[in-house]
């Protein structure tokens, strides 16, 4: 008798078919329920190994024994031609057929109803990367754990199919006692990535775990004990695991980290940390100077480190603006020089293009169409980068495209839902676009997040002709600053108290003339066009970008019909004739 006939006679083939069908079902059900019950890849591997190992003894038992109505008997004791043996074979056939039918039904339902709809719901394609815990014995290593967290966040943010919460919102939960489900609910995400970092010399241990937010169950976790040189490979591996576990179908290539010299990378992370949290007991200008020094040291080690070049340029720009934005300042020239070098190395780098366009707007003013093209291309390449998105948003507002600015703002706050200032900025953009209801809603969110908007609310009332709230807010201020005095002069004028308004504005001119654009706006609101345009001249020479940001403020409304206003717009390349042919239509993701 052939071996095949013997396997068939002893029901081994029936048992094998049933075992394989049931095993496949077990694995598929575990995969489907992985998020609900916290089954990780390790659990799945163990289950598959156990089922595979058990297959052999099951086959041996099916060869040597026979299941009969009287129980399990040795095969040699069974009369296969007997009616009871034939009934047992038929029962086994029915079991196998039922198992195969269930497997086929599960496969069809899964493919037709689940896979066709979407691999994952929109809410499921969202994640927050919480600050990794510093497990090093040295508290000074916190810059490293924070830096790794931010780098992981930035890497995942490059996946267009995944909504990743920005650093500003995610890092608010550092050292928090809140549970994961509560954090996820506030950030409106379905998953959270958290972990820890331990660094000792050139050795690192990174632990990462992906958590299903609603159940607080672990979807996946892993630990890496590597040398510092492997830090970039670890980040790539973590990102790949997140993509796999969330079943994200990538359209393009998976994101990866560009490797640089580890020492330069550590300097970059230190500089980034200083810019984010500052230096205790020191002002932000000192922090920017220290960050710039560290970026420069990183570039000495890694001369083609484009990210360090971009951040160094931005640090120089910030210091330059803090020092008064003087023309010909070597800091500005150094900043633009580094950006020029960065774009020579990587012409498509989104951050470098965005900063370069912003730098040109600060001082040089190239053709507006060139700036628009650079900012649009940078946003289209990397819309998830907060710096790139904010630049595009503010630029859209400055060229009279408030609807585009508001749409970009909505996209930004969707990824940064705990950033009060961004909601405040969005409320201003809505106001400029005439969306007053939405402006009020965004302002309320900013207030709920802890931002005091009393001044903004009073300003809205002032623009609408009601000076009462602003007078109540500022008139009894014992230590008024320039902003207070200028705004109070505007409110007194609106209230008809012209002599007091003139007196207040004279104090500003005498003691606070270092911000001429505020004085120009005050005179414009009072209807004194000659004085307003007189103060606009030095304002434009001193800080074009600030004047640009204020062009749409209602305080300038009384002088917009003056022919000299058109000349101001032309100098700033914002005249309607200059903007008519400017194309700026960034692709804002859903």
Which whole number is the average pLDDT over 241-268?
84
Q: What are the beta bridge partners of residue 199?
A: 204
Nearest by Cα to 191 from 121, 119, 114: 121
Count Cβ atoms below 10 Å from residue 498 Cβ, excluding itself: 11
Which whole number is the average pLDDT over 429-442?
82
Q: Are 294 and 271 in contact (CB under 8 A)?
A: yes
Question: Does residue 357 have a pLDDT over 70?
Answer: yes
The pLDDT value given to residue 244: 84
Which whole number is the average pLDDT over 258-272?
93
> Tokens 């972990």 identify what position?
195
Structure confidence by residue, pLDDT tens digits, 327-355: 557 887 888 899 999 999 999 999 999 88
> What is the Cα–Cα distance from 362 to 355, expressed in whole angstroms?
10
When comparing pLDDT for 55 and 514, which is higher? Answer: 55
The pLDDT value given to residue 86: 54
Structure confidence by residue, pLDDT tens digits, 571-587: 888 899 989 889 999 99
The pLDDT value given to residue 115: 41
Structure confidence by residue, pLDDT tens digits, 204-242: 999 999 998 888 888 888 999 999 989 999 999 998 888
Q: At what angle do helices 330-345 and 350-363 cross, to 10 degrees?
A: 150
Q: Are 196 and 206 in contact (CB under 8 A)?
A: yes
Structure confidence by residue, pLDDT tens digits, 97-149: 776 777 666 666 655 554 433 344 555 689 999 999 999 888 888 999 999 99
Which whole number is the average pLDDT over 500-517?
84
The mean predicted confidence, pLDDT, of the chain is 83
| CA distances (Å), origin 10, targets 60, 80, 221 | 11, 9, 45
The pLDDT value given to residue 409: 93
Which whole number is the average pLDDT over 295-306?
96
Structure confidence by residue, pLDDT tens digits, 154-167: 999 888 888 999 99
When comparing pLDDT for 44 and 235, which is higher? Answer: 235
Count Cβ atoms below 10 Å from residue 322 Cβ, excluding itself: 14
pLDDT band at residue 490 under the 50/70/90 scheme: very high
Q: What proportion of the chain, given as a percentage, has pLDDT over 70? A: 83
pTM of the model: 0.71
Which whole number is the average pLDDT over 521-532?
94
> What is the Cα–Cα distance from 204 to 241, expressed in whole angstroms?
19
Return the half-sphere exposure (C-beta side, CA atoms, 13 A cut-off) of residue 419. 24
Structure confidence by residue, pLDDT tens digits, 380-425: 999 988 889 999 998 898 888 988 999 999 999 999 999 999 999 9
Q: What are the beta bridge partners of residue 330?
A: none
Pairing of strands 191-200, 133-134: parallel
Tokens of 548: 């640009």
Structure confidence by residue, pLDDT tens digits, 70-88: 555 666 665 555 555 555 5
pLDDT band at residue 22 under the 50/70/90 scheme: confident
The pLDDT value given to residue 116: 39
Distance of CA 92 to the CA centre of its chain: 56
Which whole number is the average pLDDT over 275-296?
86
Nearest by Cα to 150 from 168, 173, 124, 127: 168
> What is the Cα–Cα distance from 90 to 80, expressed in whole angstroms?
12
Coil, helix or strand at residue 53: helix
Count Cβ atoms below 10 Å from residue 6 Cβ, excluding itself: 11
> What is the Cα–Cα distance from 225 to 261, expressed in whole angstroms?
19
Coil, helix or strand at residue 588: coil
């Amino acid at each position: 008798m052939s071996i095949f006939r013997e396997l068939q006679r002893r029901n081994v083939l029936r048992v094998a078919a049933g075992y394989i069908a049931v095993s496949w079902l077990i694995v598929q059900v575990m995969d489907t329920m992985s998020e609900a019950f916290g089954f990780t890849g390790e659990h799945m591997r163990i289950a598959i190994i156990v089922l595979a190992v058990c297959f052999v003894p099951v086959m041996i038992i099916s060869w040597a024994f026979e299941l009969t109505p009287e129980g399990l008997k040795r095969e040699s004791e069974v009369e296969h031609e007997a009616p009871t043996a034939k009934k047992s074979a038929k029962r086994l056939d029915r079991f196998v057929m039922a198992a195969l039918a269930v497997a086929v039904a599960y496969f069809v339902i899964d493919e037709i109803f689940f896979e066709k709809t979407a691999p994952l719901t929109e809410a499921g394609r969202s994640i927050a990367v919480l600050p990794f815990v510093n497990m090093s014995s040295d508290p000074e290593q916190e810059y490293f754990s924070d830096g790794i967290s931010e780098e992981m966040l930035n890497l995942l943010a490059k996946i267009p199919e995944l909504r990743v919460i920005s650093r500003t919102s995610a890092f608010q939960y550092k050292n928090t006692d809140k549970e994961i489900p509560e954090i996820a609910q506030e950030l409106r995400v379905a998953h959270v990535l958290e972990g820890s970092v331990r660094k000792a010399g050139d050795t690192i241990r990174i632990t990462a775990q992906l958590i299903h937010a609603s159940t607080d169950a672990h979807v996946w976790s892993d630990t890496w004990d590597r040398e510092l040189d492997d830090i970039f490979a670890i980040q790539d591996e973590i990102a790949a695991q997140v993509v796999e576990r969330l079943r994200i179908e990538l359209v393009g290539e998976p994101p990866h980290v560009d490797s640089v010299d580890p020492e330069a990378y550590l300097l970059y992370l230190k500089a980034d940390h200083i810019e984010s949290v500052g230096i205790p007991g020191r002002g932000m200008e000192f922090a920017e100077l220290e960050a710039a020094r560290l970026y420069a040291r990183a570039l000495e080690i890694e001369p083609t480190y484009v990210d360090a070049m971009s951040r160094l340029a931005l640090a120089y720009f910030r210091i330059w603006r803090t020092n008064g934005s003087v023309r010909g300042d070597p800091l500005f020239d150094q900043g633009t020089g580094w950006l020029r070098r960065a774009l020579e190395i990587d012409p498509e780098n989104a951050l470098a293009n965005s900063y370069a366009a912003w730098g040109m707007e600060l001082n040089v003013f190239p053709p507006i169409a060139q700036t628009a093209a650079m900012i649009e291309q940078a946003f289209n390449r990397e819309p998830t980068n907060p710096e790139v998105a904010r630049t595009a948003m503010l630029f859209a507002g400055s060229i009279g495209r408030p609807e585009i600015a508001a749409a970009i703002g909505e996209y930004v706050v969707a990824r940064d839902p705990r950033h009060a200032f961004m909601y405040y900025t969005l409320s201003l953009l809505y106001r400029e676009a005439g969306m007053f209801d939405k402006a009020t809603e965004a302002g309320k969110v900013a207030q709920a997040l802890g931002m005091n908007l009393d001044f903004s609310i009073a300003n809205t009332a002032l623009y609408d002709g009601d000076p009462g709230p602003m007078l109540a807010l500022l008139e009894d201020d014992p230590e008024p600053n320039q902003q207070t005095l200028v705004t109070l002069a505007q409110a007194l004028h609106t209230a008809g108290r012209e002599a007091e308004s003139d007196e207040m504005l004279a104090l500003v001119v005498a003691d606070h003339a270092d911000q001429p654009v505020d004085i120009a706006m005050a005179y414009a609101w009072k209807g004194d066009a000659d004085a307003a345009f007189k103060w606009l001249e030095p304002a434009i020479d001193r800080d074009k970008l600030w004047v640009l940001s204020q062009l749409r403020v209602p305080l300038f409304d009384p002088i917009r019909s003056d022919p000299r206003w058109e000349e101001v717009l032309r100098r700033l390349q914002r005249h309607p004739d200059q903007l008519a042919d400017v194309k700026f239509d960034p692709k804002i993701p859903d």
